[in-house]
Amino acid sequence: MLEYANLKALAVVVSEGGFERAAKVLHITQSAVSQRVRQLEERVGQSLLIRSTPVVATPTGKRLLRHYSQVQLLESELRSELDADDPNHPTTVRIAVNADSLATWFLPALADMFSRHAWLLELIVDDESYTHHLLKNGEAVGCVTTTANPMAGCSSEFLGTMEYMCVATPQFAARYFEWSDTSNDSGSQLTQAQLTKAPAVVFSTKDKLHEKYLAQYFQMTPGRWWQHTIPSSESFLEAINLSLGYGLVGHLQAKPLIDQGVLIELTPEKRMRVPLYWQHWNIKAKQTTLVYRALAATAQHHLLQQ
């Protein structure tokens, strides 16, 4: 049997990034934290931490963290069934989500349920093609991801598709793409030469959507265009609205601005579709079941379901 006090020490050291901060959270001495982690390492016979700055878990450490998170979830479920919820220690549900979902449909899907059950929501924001790694490492109990195939020990449920539209302000389009009010089907007139000189707005270095868009529709390879990199969903959209560049914006954010005339769609016949899935551990916990039901119900109305 593993000592759960030692597992908790490991989890807090990783989440806090070091032994000193973990000691403050656990209200014990730093040497006591080190001793608990060392006892756990001796028990499994392997190193569980890379003692860098910040401290990170080894592959074995990540497996133990995943196990500890699952046990925490099941224990909170048991307390609920026994009508023994501790108001001083509410259940925390950790979910990994992409920024575009968080900025649009995600929080409205969960707000009422979390308020009703008095749960705490801890979100980890990452690119939708990377969030499943957080689930695999035990850092989240579920994730919104583009990965359809379920990972070992997990289930995968289709939520819907986010459609991305290539947009810019009319002023930016007139300057870089010779756009005018009388332009018809101007998307088909965009050229590699224009796209080489027109600055793009890209969410982050992890986000490959813009790269795929230019490769698929214009046969352009990385390094052939200029780009601003703005890793904030709100600031990303603001940069486009301020005519800093053109970019791919999800339909939930883009359509209202197009209808208002703030933005125009540059290539209406060239859109990028990103399917989203909910992956979660295969454990019988009320939290993951209810979270999926809430997400699916909201996604049904906001995401494309074809």
For the stretch 173-182, pLDDT in tens is 999 998 876 5
Alpha carbons 11 and 14: distance in angstroms, whole number: 5
pLDDT digits (tens, 9 = 90+) for 41-98: 888 888 888 888 888 888 888 888 888 887 777 776 666 655 555 566 678 888 999 9
Strands (E), 17-77: 49-50, 56-57
In a 3-state reduction of DSSP, which class is residue 113? helix
Instruction: Answer whether residue 3 shows pLDDT above 70.
Output: yes
Element (H, E) at 249: strand 247-250
CB 245 within 8 A of CB 200: yes
Contacts of 133 (CB under 8 A, 6+ apart): 126
Alpha carbons 154 and 125: distance in angstroms, whole number: 20
Look up the pTM and report it.
0.76
What is each CA distance from 45 to 37, 39, 56, 67, in whole angstroms? 12, 10, 18, 17
pLDDT digits (tens, 9 = 90+) for 251-272: 999 999 999 999 999 999 999 9
Alpha carbons 165 and 181: distance in angstroms, whole number: 19
Q: Supply 167's token pair.
A: 């947009």
Mean of all residue pLDDT scores within the chain: 88
Quickly state the pLDDT bin for 171 (edges 50, 70, 90).
very high
For range 141-160, the mean pLDDT: 91
Among 52, 93, 86, which Cα is nearest to 72's?
93
Counting Cα atoms < 13 Å in the Cβ hemisphere of 144 gives 30
Alpha carbons 4 and 144: distance in angstroms, whole number: 29
Which residue did the predictor score with more confidence, 79 or 208? 208
pLDDT exceeding 90 applies to what percent of the chain?
Answer: 49
Give the start-to-end residue ranges of the domains of the chain: 162-274
The rounded radius of gyration (Å) of the Cα atoms in the chain is: 23
Report the top-level CATH class of 162-274: alpha beta
For range 276-285, the mean pLDDT: 86
pLDDT at 183: 53
